[in-house]
Structure 1
Amino acid sequence: MYAADNVIIEDNINEERDEDAAIKDFKAYGDVLIFDTTYRTNKYGLICAPFVGINNHWRTTMFGCAFITDEKADTFVWLLSIFKKSLCGIEPKSIFTNQDLAMSMGESSVYPNSRHRLCLWHLQKNFVSHFGTLKTNPEFKNILLAQDVSKTWIRKKKEWFDRLYGLRDKWCTTLSKDIFSAGILSSQRVEVTNRAISFKPNRTTKLLEFFHIFEATVKRWRSTEKSDNFRYTTEKPRTTTKILKHAAEVYTLNLYKDFKLEFDTSLGAYAREKTTSMQYVKFFDVSLDEDNKHTYQVIYYTLNHEFMCSCMCFTETGLLSFHILKIMQMYSIHAIPERYILKRWTKLAKSMIWDENESV
């Protein structure tokens, strides 16, 4: 147990020491960190601050957990510094948090090279809490009927919406594609934080009771990971398509499903080559409609099978988009180029850690 005036961090000792398991997990999956302090989960009013990540099966994994008594910038700096030190100084590429200025200041101080993101799940909850009260307001209804909503925003919620707009680079999916985030900002992953903090304690829970709930949660998550690992050794997706066979060999089952969805989408896509004088570079417009209304631009470097797409899906999620897969089909590329296989999504995501242990 680590203790300070304003922070208590619990260590859990299991069959494998939790700190050892957490370090292994962080080495493999620490490129994305979810840090949340919105839960008061005990009778003492302490703030629960779990550190959570996403493993290679796209399931939540626990890196650590803390209790703090306040949400001041100094507290977050201290806590994140301890967390960073305990996890070998590794810096995530993206850190997802709730909307908190002090937390943001702490992150930028301790993790200057990480991108601070805001969880859409929290933003949606906050939006409902801010906008929802207006729906029962007779004055708002009258203004809405009069098609003069701007007055309501100015008088009621303009400050909150202006602040949210000022932070748009941290939550807007269009502005957040230039760095890896495991796809957390995409709509289908919007409740990842809510699912992650599923301890189910309440305000009357004592710390010792919380510890047992926390311990059971971590055990359940790790048991699920073991089951997922066993599944991919026994369950083989049935396919005769060469590139899907390759994807099934390298990716875990859940990630294979995501890849297959992109591949299936590519089958119905349209690709139009654009004229160019460059010999080994091809340019394409790819869309799902024949009228070319919503297109993305794909560049294909034929000599080394390198692709670039304006959707930036690979940069953001680590999986190829259907736009690129469409061009790969056109050129009979039946295997995923090695540069586009992100190890953290593969069956051997922890192989580097295994190798390190064997060399000791």
Structure 2
Amino acid sequence: MARPPIDRGESDAVLELCRRKTETDYDCEYFYHYELDGERRLKNLFWADTDSGIDDIMGYGDVVVFDTTCRTNKHGVPFVPFVGLSPHRTPIVLGCGVTTDQSLDSLVWLLRAFKQSNHCRRDGPASVITDDSNAVAGAIKTVFPGSNHRFCSWHVEQGIEEHLRGLSAAQNEFRALMCDDACSPTAFQDRWYGFMAKHRTAANLRRLDAMYDKREMWAAAFVHDKFFLGMANDQRTECLTTALHTGLHEGMSLTDLWRHADACTHALRGDVAALDHQAAMSRLALTTEHRRLEERAARLFTPANFYLLREEIKMLGSFDVLVETRGRHAASGEVRYAVGFKERRGVVFDVERSGDDVLKCSCQKMERDGLPCRHIFCVMRHASMSQIPACCALGRMQRRLDAKCERLEEMKDLGRLVFDLASEDAKEFQEIMKFFQTWL
């Protein structure tokens, strides 16, 4: 059944909503851009709420997720939300688009409008995760040629299932090829040839050959060192857009769609603001035996990122620095550490330390996920480093604390130690009490 075209009345109505938004006192930086066809009907539309906190996150060069496959509206046109990940690992809406087709020209227009909204650096986001459309891939190359581009694993898996239907072993093997980030490009080649020898048929050969041609867009072996915030190999990218897709129905007009997206945008930003406040006011429980490292991480990172780091810190009991090698020139401060398991032989990871405590590990977790690995924490413990270096604490991963909160947190930590020691001796207790009374 053919969908009704977008008439001029509905085009004018949704553009009027955008225009009114730009005139409100509370949102004077609202951005929208549109393109009309030859009959003055809406062809493409992009809109975005500006927000200083989100602009700060995108300023670090972040990961953007967008999906062009949702057509849940009465016109059947693609609704394209641009979504990012907040410091609390929750979704944030960076902008939304509507395009009457999925042609390369329209997608290029949409990406340029997103770029113009100032939600990304001049040269584009660090990385982009999308559905597995060839037109989308072409648009990314045109507008964001310097960005890493990866297909969402959920879309890839959904697309391949119909060609491997009834072959559960083949589906599992393909999923392993897609998600195994310990696999090198060379090893991938060998495993792929083995996979094809076992599972190719006349019916799926063309599809599998096409997937091989696009292997750098979906196989973990080719994005091991690229910044995707840990989203490259899981279903998180599909979950990020769930809030915007929930509640959509085929009878929706464009104005209904705009209002729905606007409400979701503000609700999700409200969630981030609440989590900011909760993180600033809360003190996280320390559970590992590596208290100093854990406490530094708890103070610096948002709870969501701290919980991921705590899993790395928990593993420190199994690792140790096996060899420490200093550079030829002592003044350079360059040191190389070989980090491996204490109790058994295995893979050894090289951690380089140079300059003002710049740490880099051969496992490349920091470059890939934006969070330091257990091997870096092992070196920090070995070298008795007093702080987590800036290279391992991206601003987008940290709590948003104002200066007063930061000072308060530092005084609490020192105060606990002072009070604990002073309470053991009556004379010291009196001295500390007298000091505070005098100061007040």
Equivalent pair of 1:34/1:97 in contact (CA under 8 Å):
yes
- 219-228 vs 1-10, which moves further: 1-10
Displacement of 1:315: 1.1
Quick one: distance in 2 between partners of 1:253 and 1:235?
9
1:66 is matched with 97
- The reply to whether residue 168 of structure 1 matches residue 215 of structure 2 is yes
Q: 2:371 aligns with which of 312, 319, 335?
A: 319
Shift of 1:214: 1.8
2:380 alignment counterpart: 328
Q: Which amino acid aligns with 2:349?
A: Y
1:241 counterpart = 2:291 = yes
- The aligned amino acid for 2:94 is F
1:24-81 superposed Cα distances (whole Å, 9 cap, x missing partner): 5144235211121111111211111111111111111101111112111111111111
1:293 is aligned, of 335, 341, 346, to 346
- CA distance in 1 between counterparts of 2:200 and 2:325 reads 49
Displacement of 1:229? 0.8
1:242: Cα distance to partner? Answer: 2.1
Matched residue, 1:9: 45
Distance change >3 Å, CA 298–CA 89, structure 1 → 2: closer
TM-score of the superposition, structure 2-length normalised?
0.68
1:225 and 2:272 are equivalent in the alignment? yes
The 1:7–1:54 alpha-carbon spacing in structure 2 relative to 1, beyond 3 Å, is farther
1:172 offset after TM fit, Å?
2.6
**What does residue range 79-90 of structure 1 map to in structure 2 within 5 Å?**
79-87=110-118, 90=121
Q: Look up the match of 2:312.
A: 262
**What does the per-residue CA deviation read over 1:207-264, in whole Å, with 9 as the maximum and x for residues that have no partner?**
3332332233222211210110111122111338222222222211111111212111
- The aligned amino acid for 1:292 is R
Q: Gaps (5+ residues) in structure 1?
A: 12-17, 136-146, 352-360
**Matches of 1:99 and 1:109, distance apart in 2:** 16
Partners of 1:46 and 1:277 in 2: CA distance? 60
Question: Are positions 1:123 and 2:164 aligned together?
Answer: no
Instruction: Report the Cα offset of residue 311 of structure 1.
Output: 1.0
Aligned-residue RMSD, C-alpha:
2.9
Q: Which has the higher contact order (CA 8 A, sep 6+)?
A: 1
* Separation (CA, whole Å) in 2 of partners of 1:115 and 1:348: 27
In the TM superposition, what is the alpha-carbon distance from 1:151 to its structure 2 partner? 6.9
Distance 1:176 1:34, change over 3 A: same
Q: Deviations over 1:152-179 (max 9, x none)?
A: 5141222222222232222333321333
Secondary structure of the equivalent of 1:9?
Answer: strand
Distance 1:212 1:261, change over 3 A: same
Q: How does 1:1-360 map to 2 (within 5 A)?
A: 1=15, 2-5=34-37, 7-9=43-45, 11=47, 19-21=49-51, 24-29=53-58, 31-87=62-118, 90=121, 91-132=124-165, 150=197, 152-187=199-234, 190-198=235-243, 199-200=245-246, 201-239=248-286, 241-273=291-323, 278=328, 281-288=334-341, 290-301=343-354, 304-348=356-400
Match of 2:419 in 1: none
Change (3 A) 1:277 1:51: closer
**Which runs of 5 or more structure 2 residues have no equivalent in the other structure?**
1-14, 16-33, 169-193, 404-440
Larger radius of gyration: 2
Letter in 1 for 2:63: V
CA deviations on 1:179-217 (whole Å, 9 max, x unpaired) are 322221144xx3333332333213233333323322332
Aligned to 1:15: none
- Please tell me the residue identity of whatever aligns with 1:83: F
User: Does the CA contact (< 8 Å) of 1:62 and 1:218 recur in 2?
Assistant: yes
- Contact 2:276–2:400 (8 Å) recurs in 1: no
The alignment-based identity, stated in percent, is 23
For residues 19 and 149 of structure 1, the distance between their equivalents in structure 2, rounded to whole angstroms, comes to 47
- Secondary structure of the residue aligned to 2:314 is helix
- The question of whether the paired residues in 2 share the 8 Å contact of 1:28 and 1:350 is answered with no
